[in-house]
Structure 1
Amino acid sequence: MKSISLFAAMVLVAVASSCKQSDFSKSEEAVSTTEESVSAEPAPTAKPVQGRKFVRTADMRFKVKDVAKSTFEVEKSVNRFGGFVVETNLQSNENGTETAKLSQDSIVETKRFTVTNDMIIRVPNARLDSLLTTVQSQVGYLNHRVIKAEDVQLKMLANQMAQQRQQKYNARMENGIDSKGRKLKDVVDAEDRLTTKNEEADSAKIQNLDLEDKVAYSTVSLQLYQNETVLREVLANPESLTYKTSFGTQVTDSLLFGWNILQGLITFFLRFWTIWLIGLLVFFILTRRTKKIALK
């Protein structure tokens, strides 16, 4: 009986230990699964603080492998999070150009340039952290990352109170103008004061609308750049493109030039044909007289 009870106890201990090991392995699998799901999810969205309204801004400057590709990835993330791109300025800044002769008719041009992009993004305030986490995946080297949050709750309340005061004042002024205004000068002065107060009320309303927009959508400024890029191209040598006239063409041009000179001389002398005719007549007369004298 003792041996049977000892054997049963050993069996119970073995079963209990195996159950504990299975539970431990399951717990490890659950922990690893939870860690993977947490790492795969984006950063948690910002929750509004009770009684607070924040204007949140972010400014980042960082280096990437390819500015154009990173820009496209950032723009896709902005669209995914319900934001929009206010400005993007993607450009290549030339640092210098060098040329070297490769052969008689070709050269090698080496151009060094740096690609940069300055972006301004608006994204819903609650998705700002998620966007920054996504942008972080493009960062090769981070120069700076500045995030600011300005509480504008009191400023918005002050604007609302100013609007209410202006509305009450305007109501009293309009009532006074309608009921007591008699003289033209008094009416004009009252109307001018009322217009000024209306402008102040409109300004406070516009300021509140602007603050509400900034509270709803955070502004993100991004400056992307990459390492200097070197571009080499084989181009035609401009010096070898100089055209020389052939010998046959030069001979033809010379003959034509001489013929043009001869034509010019002939036409020049033909202009004085009357002089030549008178000279011939004089020569003919003088020759005949000379012969007559010789015969006598």
Structure 2
Amino acid sequence: MKTTYIKLSLSAVLLLGIYSCKKGEASTNELSNYAVADSAAVTTSDSISSAASMEVKDKQFIKTADVNMDVKDVYNATIAIEKSVQELGGFVTKSNLQSNVVSEDTYNTSDTEAMLIKKYKSENTIQVRVPTEKLGDFLTAINTNKLFLNSRTINAEDITANIKYSELEAKRNQKTSENIDKIKANKDKVALGNENMSEGNLQKLTTMNMADNLKYSTVDIYIKEPKLRVAEIAVTNSIDNKYRYNFIYDAKDGFVYGFYLIQRIFVALINIWPLLLIAGGLIYFFRKRKAIRPEQPKIQE
């Protein structure tokens, strides 16, 4: 009896040891796989949030990001960002680069030359679409252009339920279409068919937009320069004085103007000829009357 008990105990210990070994091997494999995945995430995404490369079984996420940072040169940073987007298979949907002038002064350097000094800050608002699986790589790439990161927001919106609802709505729309086909042809059938088709088209559009947002992540980027930049532009000094007065041209212009002035005066006199005729008649009448009037003798004292 004792020998049987010892054998059973040894067998139990042996089985427990084998089970523990297998369990330990399984746990080790899981941890190794998790460690490899985590290590890969850290390697490819050293300075970005895990939300950019997050993947969950049976879940679908629409990912977006918003980055605000200072860069040394806005133009060069813009070129680098657009190049990174192209290399990753994405595209730029908006790029609004502008320079805000803080001050503008002109300094004369000679009688004919001057220097225009502009102090300004450049900024750019960029919106890009990149393949979702490469969002982390893109954020890492643009991070190399920063002087200072003001803010960064990464969103991963779970739309698993939305996708399921879209599928159910598509089935409902198809069923409604089949039921409408069974109705006898009349005005109501046409109206119901058009309404159902319009609803189906809107549902297809929603599904297409959802699929596009799943495939491509939208990234909004705002970059600016922290310090003022100075632009020196050579300009002509007092160019207005060069063309301010031209004697020959002004004399010729004055002669022509005088000729046209005489014409205007002559035309004006023609327009008022009745008044001139009346005035001439009155002057003639008073002069003739004065000539006829006898002169009064002077009284001698």
Q: Same fold (TM over 0.5)?
A: yes
Note if contact 2:99-2:122 (Cα within 8 Å) is conserved in structure 1: yes
- For 1:43, the equivalent position in structure 2 comes to 45
1:126 matched to 2:125? The reply is no
Query: For residues 142-181 of structure 1, what are the structure 2 equivalents within 5 Å?
Result: 142-177=149-184, 181=185
Structure 1 distance, partners of 2:187, 2:197, is: 15
TM-score under structure 1 length normalisation = 0.63
Structure 1 distance, partners of 2:234, 2:123, is: 26
- For 1:7, the equivalent position in structure 2 comes to none
**Structure 1's 194 and 225: CA in aligned 2 closer, same or farther, altered over 3 A?**
same
- For 2:231, the equivalent position in structure 1 comes to 231
Q: How far does residue 101 in structure 1 lie from its aligned partner after superposition?
A: 3.1
Gaps of 5+ in 2: 1-38, 47-51, 260-301
Query: For residues 3-152 of structure 1, what are the structure 2 equivalents within 5 Å?
Result: 42-43=44-45, 46=53, 48-152=55-159
- For 1:218, the equivalent position in structure 2 comes to 217
Structure 1 distance, partners of 2:175, 2:125, is: 47
**Identity, % of aligned positions:** 26
Match of 1:93, SS?
Answer: strand
**Structure 1's 40 and 176: CA in aligned 2 closer, same or farther, altered over 3 A?**
closer
Structure 2 distance, partners of 1:217, 1:243, is: 61
Greater C-alpha Rg:
1
Match of 1:169, SS?
Answer: helix
CA RMSD of aligned residues (A): 3.1
Query: For residues 253-264 of structure 1, what are the structure 2 equivalents within 5 Å?
Result: none
**Structure 1's 209 and 242: CA in aligned 2 closer, same or farther, altered over 3 A?**
closer
Structure 1 distance, partners of 2:203, 2:246, is: 80
Q: How far does residue 232 in structure 1 lie from its aligned partner after superposition?
A: 2.1
Runs of 4+, deviation exceeding 4 Å: 37-41, 242-246
**Structure 1's 159 and 241: CA in aligned 2 closer, same or farther, altered over 3 A?**
same
Note if contact 1:110-1:233 (Cα within 8 Å) is conserved in structure 2: yes
Amino acid at match of 2:204: K
Structure 2 distance, partners of 1:166, 1:242, is: 77
Match of 1:61, SS?
Answer: strand
Match of 2:101, SS?
Answer: strand
Amino acid at match of 1:147: I
